[in-house]
Structure 1
């Protein structure tokens, strides 16, 4: 991903959000001119953003045609969810002894803030971003910034996959994680690491089960 707070970063995020929100759908071809007109920016930041999006396999370049939205394959979904689960559980184990009341309160305040939103009126990209930030906040207490970046990458892939496969499914449980967050926070307050780990595993498995049922893999 390009450096934050640059025009290239802004274009990158807008394209990414349009993919997650289903504006640009799986297999669709987009062009530089299309993005220049849509975002009202010059060619240079659009081109740089497209390079980054191709590097991260959100898009793939098709010579003399444009850039196609990459489909995430079922076997990749399994690998991503396995990676997410292993990272989260390991980072929780590393941080649990240091989860003091101040850190737990930060989790609660963040969850309360996103809990005031109406999921039916909130774009998919925002819901996934909010969910990701909660999990990254918890993971950050481990002190391992590299693992946090890996975890963020897995969440971004999950967000794209859910839109590509499930945009037409009217099931709020796919997007809403706040109840699980509350139970996880309570387990942290009670210093119950086994319950906290199980909740992280269940949270990861829930979306995987939806994928497996829907895609029959």
Structure 2
């Protein structure tokens, strides 16, 4: 019973996130528990638990007896996350670049190819780009660092929905992943300073229009 209850809570948690990513639920909108119960056709308990979990993850803000507001990410907050990523990703890359293997670089190339797929949807593109950065950091073999980057990318996914959803077009993939191949080439040459500079430029391509 507990397992089923937890599974339903997780499904509702993910469904609410999906609605935020798709733009059906918008930043600043108030979500009502009763309306969500009707929408998902379930009891109050898993909906309430999902809402509480989303509050804990800073996706929602609770207003007692009123509802749950979808938190709007500010450009300042996003800049702070990007600055954190810059230190995290460049620091660990500098520590591990000399041990990178041809197999690992081939894996990065495979992911870079996916990032430029002309048939990608906005979220397929986002997931491929995220995989590139998580894979690159994973070569440092620090699980905690990888978990923190994954958490940062989850927040930035909401920012992607907030700022890019209505302006998405097929020129975006080539713009925000244009440094991936040069990064790989620099790492093949063990040119860490060039790779670090390119990674910085890659992170700066996450612009808010």
TM-score class, shorter-chain normalisation, is 0.7 to 0.9
Q: Which of these two proteins has the greater Rg computed from alpha carbons?
A: 2
Q: Is the partner of 1:167 in helix, strand or coil?
A: helix
Residues 21, 125 of structure 1: 8 Å contact kept: no
The alignment's TM-score, normalised by the length of structure 2, stands at 0.83
- Per-residue displacement from partner, 1:191-213 (whole Å, max 9, x unpaired)? 22122211210011122xx32xx
* CA-atom RMSD in angstroms: 2.4
For 1:46-195, what aligned pairs fall within 5 Å after superposition?
46-116=47-117, 118-119=119-120, 122=121, 124-170=122-168, 172=170, 174=172, 176=174, 177-195=176-194
Query: Structure 1 115/74 Cα, relative in aligned 2: closer, same or farther at 3 Å?
Result: closer
Structure 1 pair 62–200 and aligned structure 2 pair: CA distance change class (3 A)? same
SS at match of 2:166: coil
Secondary structure of the structure 1 residue equivalent to 2:46 = helix
Q: What is the total number of aligned residue pairs between the two structures?
A: 203
Tell me which residue corresponds to 2:3.
none
Structure 1 gaps of 5+ residues are none
Between 94-103 and 161-170, the greater mean CA deviation after superposition: 161-170
TM-score by length of 1: 0.81
CA contact (8 A) 2:58 2:71 kept: yes
Q: Whole-Å Cα distance in 2 between the matches of residues 41 and 185 of structure 1?
A: 48
Contact 1:17 1:125 in 2 (8 A): no
Where in structure 1 do 4 or more consecutive aligned residues deviate above 6 Å?
none
